Amino acid sequence: MGKLESAQKSYKQAIQYDPNLAEVYANLGSISARQKQLEQAIKYYEKTISIKPDFPSFYRNLAKIWRSLGKERLVTECSYQALILEPKLATGIEWLNLGDKLLELGKVEEAIACYNQAIKSDEKLSAAYNKLGNTLIQKGEMEQSLFYR
């Protein structure tokens, strides 16, 4: 309804009664983001995630803020957390691309998980098998890599 200040005030009062309401912090994060108070929005979403780490939309919302700030590493990390919680929301190609980004960041285990999800999502995605095999070789798991190459 466009009454952000009023909503913000109500949410802050709710926190005084119960400081563990993750959804309230998420709403405050959304309001702060709309008001272009991005640092405050980040703090609210980080608090939200600390209370309720298994809720993928919190990570997706935080990723949007990081993207607007040009923080691609943090976008990738948040995107990974969101998709791990809801793996069916991504296509095989999306998993593959996320795996590549994570591998560039040196997050080998996470990249391997993404390549595995890419294969689960699309068994015909040969690039995922290739990337998984090569990543396992880099990790020194030669025997396991043979299955994927």
pLDDT 10s digits, 77-129 = 999 999 999 999 999 999 999 999 999 999 999 999 999 999 999 999 999 99
Contact between 35 and 9 (Cβ < 8 Å): no
At residue 124, φ and ψ (nearest 5 deg) are -95, 5
pLDDT above 70: residue 149: no
- The CATH number linked to 117 is 1.25.40.10
Q: Tell me the mean pLDDT in the region 22-35.
A: 93
Domain assignment present for residue 27? The answer is yes
Same domain, 96 and 60: no
Same domain, 63 and 31: yes
Domain assignment present for residue 112? The answer is yes
Same domain, 9 and 67: yes
Domain assignment present for residue 83? The answer is no
What is the residue range of 3's domain? 1-75
What is the rounded distance in angstroms from the CA atom of residue 91 to the CA atom of residue 109?
20
Q: Is 35 helix (H, G, I), strand (E, B) or coil?
A: coil
